[in-house]
């Protein structure tokens, strides 16, 4: 390991020249911030457009034979203004013209969308006087569309040899035949993580517009406390609240390498942010929890059958029914003669009736109940495995808030207690648990 820092800046951190200036200040403030991964320009204000959305729109227009001139003009203006205000030396108009021509000629959606990061990377590299390295030269995908770590490391080592400081655009890479492919939305986070892994960096900084994760949802809990340190595993368990801060998949490239991620706020660089660390790292918890996250919109299918515990292959049959319908489940609490499948409504779509029919036919249950409108709340903390009284606080918090608990589940890893409550009681339940741990 070295002392290198990879700094990824999100769309809102690069939405205007004012934001670019903050980014420069941050990068130059630490000599080790030598590799920078930018997103495409995001929104400057609430009703503004994200460049990536506009690029997808251009592609959709072009594909349907509709003129995309007007949409492209908005994109052009954003970049031209940035280049002018930052006084960069590259001829950004020339690059924009090239992109427009390619889109008109039928470039793919992935190629078109990737140009948001590409153009922003060109401007940022010039502005920081760092070398521009096209992500298509180093980030590689396999023919099946999956990220190719081995080929990426090889290409990275070759391309980056002797490159001391670089800007590498996020979000995209190349297929084996060289065509551009993008990650899923928000994927610049993944690029940053991959670059950190390839470099064996000491730290991956993810600069955004919030000072890290909060203990709970600020739309429901007034002023929740920040989370200063969280392990990768805890974060996965808290993913109901994490998605908009950090792309879920960005943990995987660096998890094995033990590289921590620091979520930082470009607008408040003095804030500590949240440090995400390896699961094996010692953390002091002093009897409390890390966070509480939840989500509405689940359906529970409860299957009861006498002597289920003696029947071999029962769960296999059950799960293969879900698999055959292309449905994944969130949770599966069980009793001696019963098992519940907790499924997100978006997964279930209109498949509930046919799934129930298959369960009846193939599993022959004594009874089958469906409980719709369920919300799940996960209380998460690595410390709970060694601390007495955490679950009693969760349940007391819920009782004090007058919430009826419909389901309880604690995984054997003991970092998470999940409860199911009625959708209507979700907010009340979250507040009740939060209060129990913070008062």
171 vs 426 by CB, closer to ligand ASP? 171
15 vs 227 by CB, closer to ligand ASP? 15
CB half-sphere exposure, 25, CA atoms < 13 A: 14
Nearest distance, CB of residue 186 and ligand ASP, angstroms:
4
Nearest distance, CB of residue 9 and ligand ASP, angstroms:
10
Among 153, 141, 132, 167, residue whose Cα is nearest residue 39: 167
Q: Which chain residues interact with ligand ASP by CB under 6 A?
A: 11, 39-40, 50, 52, 116, 170-171, 185-189
What's the CA gap between 104 and 69, in Å, rounded? 10
Nearest distance, CB of residue 114 and ligand ASP, angstroms:
9
186 vs 383 by CB, closer to ligand ASP? 186
52 vs 418 by CB, closer to ligand ASP? 52
CA dihedral 293, 259, 26, 81 (to 10 degrees): -80
Residue 314 assigned to a binding site = no
Residue 159 assigned to a binding site = no
**Eight-state DSSP code of residue 308:** G
Residue 271 assigned to a binding site = no
What's the CA gap between 275 and 267, in Å, rounded? 18
116 vs 294 by CB, closer to ligand ASP? 116
**Eight-state DSSP code of residue 171:** S
113 vs 374 by CB, closer to ligand ASP? 113
Nearest distance, CB of residue 269 and ligand ASP, angstroms:
20
Q: How far is CA 12 from the centre of its chain?
A: 16
On the 0-12 / 13-18 / 19+ scale of CB atoms within 10 A, 439 is exposed
Cα dist from 305 to 49, 75, 323, 330, 360, whole Å: 54, 60, 21, 22, 11
Nearest distance, CB of residue 51 and ligand ASP, angstroms:
7
Nearest distance, CB of residue 100 and ligand ASP, angstroms:
19
Kindly give the interhelix angle for 69-85 and 17-29, rounded to the nearest 10 degrees. 50
What's the CA gap between 19 and 302, in Å, rounded? 52
Nearest distance, CB of residue 427 and ligand ASP, angstroms:
29
Nearest distance, CB of residue 292 and ligand ASP, angstroms:
27
11 vs 291 by CB, closer to ligand ASP? 11
DSSP letter string over 91-153?
-HHHHHHHHHHHHHTT--HHHHHHHHHHHHHHHHHHHHT-EE--GGGT-BB-TTS-B-HHHHH
What's the CA gap between 120 and 50, in Å, rounded? 13
What's the CA gap between 84 and 89, in Å, rounded? 9
Residue 117 assigned to a binding site = yes
Residue 236 assigned to a binding site = no
Residue 208 assigned to a binding site = yes
Determine the residue with CB nearest ligand ASP.
188
On the 0-12 / 13-18 / 19+ scale of CB atoms within 10 A, 58 is buried
Residue 329 assigned to a binding site = no
Nearest distance, CB of residue 261 and ligand ASP, angstroms:
15
Nearest distance, CB of residue 423 and ligand ASP, angstroms:
29
Residue 208 bridge partners (DSSP): 265
Residue 209 assigned to a binding site = yes
11 vs 224 by CB, closer to ligand ASP? 11
116 vs 291 by CB, closer to ligand ASP? 116
Q: Which two tokens stand for residue 306?
A: 């006498």
Residue 291 assigned to a binding site = no
What's the CA gap between 187 and 203, in Å, rounded? 19
187 vs 397 by CB, closer to ligand ASP? 187
Q: How far is CA 287 from the centre of its chain?
A: 28
SS3 assignment, position 291: strand
Q: What residues form the annotated binding site for substrate?
A: 52, 117
Q: What residues form the annotated binding site?
A: 8-11, 52, 117, 208-209, 219
Q: What residues form the annotated binding site for ATP?
A: 8-11, 208-209, 219
């Amino acid at each position: 390991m070295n002392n290198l820092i990879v700094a990824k800046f999100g769309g809102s951190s690069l939405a205007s020249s004012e934001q670019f200036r903050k980014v420069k200040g941050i990068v130059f403030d630490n000599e080790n911030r030598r590799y920078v991964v930018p997103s495409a320009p995001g929104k400057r204000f609430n009703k503004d457009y994200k460049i990536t959305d506009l690029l997808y729109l251009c592609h959709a227009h072009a594909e349907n034979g509709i003129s995309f001139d007007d949409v492209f003009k908005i994109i052009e203006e954003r970049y031209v203004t940035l280049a002018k205000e930052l006084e960069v030396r590259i001829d950004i108009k020339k690059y924009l013209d090239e992109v427009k021509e390619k889109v008109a000629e039928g470039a793919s959606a992935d190629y078109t969308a990737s140009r948001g990061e590409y153009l922003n990377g060109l401007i940022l590299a010039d502005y920081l006087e760092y070398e521009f390295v096209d992500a298509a030269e180093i980030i590689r995908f396999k023919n099946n569309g999956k990220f190719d770590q081995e080929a990426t490391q090889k290409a990275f080592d070759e391309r980056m040899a002797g490159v001391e400081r670089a800007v590498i655009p996020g979000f995209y890479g190349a297929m084996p035949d060289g065509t551009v492919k993008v990650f899923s939305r928000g994927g610049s986070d993944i690029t940053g993580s991959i670059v950190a892994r390839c470099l064996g960096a000491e730290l991956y900084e993810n600069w955004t517009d919030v000072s890290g994760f909060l203990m709970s949802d600020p739309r429901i809990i007034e002023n929740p406390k920040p989370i200063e340190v969280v392990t990768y595993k805890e974060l996965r368990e808290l993913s109901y609240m994490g998605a908009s801060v950090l792309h879920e998949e960005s943990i995987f490239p660096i998890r094995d390498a033990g590289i921590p991620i620091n979520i930082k706020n470009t607008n408040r660089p003095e804030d500590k942010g949240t440090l995400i660390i390896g699961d094996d790292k010692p953390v002091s918890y002093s009897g409390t929890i890390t966070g509480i996250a939840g989500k509405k919109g689940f359906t529970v299918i409860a299957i009861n059958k006498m002597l289920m515990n003696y029947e071999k292959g029962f769960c296999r049959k059950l799960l293969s029914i879900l698999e055959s319908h292309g449905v994944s489940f969130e949770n599966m609490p069980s009793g001696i003669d019963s098992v519940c499948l907790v499924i997100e409504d978006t997964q279930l779509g209109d498949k509930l009736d046919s799934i129930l029919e298959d369960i009846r036919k193939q599993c022959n249950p004594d009874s089958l109940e469906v409980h719709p409108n369920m919300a799940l709340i996960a209380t998460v903390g690595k410390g709970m495995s060694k601390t007495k009284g955490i679950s009693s606080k969760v349940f007391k918090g819920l009782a004090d808030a007058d919430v009826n608990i419909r389901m309880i589940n604690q995984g054997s890893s003991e970092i998470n207690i999940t409860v199911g409550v009625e959708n209507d009681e979700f907010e009340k339940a979250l507040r009740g648990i939060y209060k129990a741990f913070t008062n």
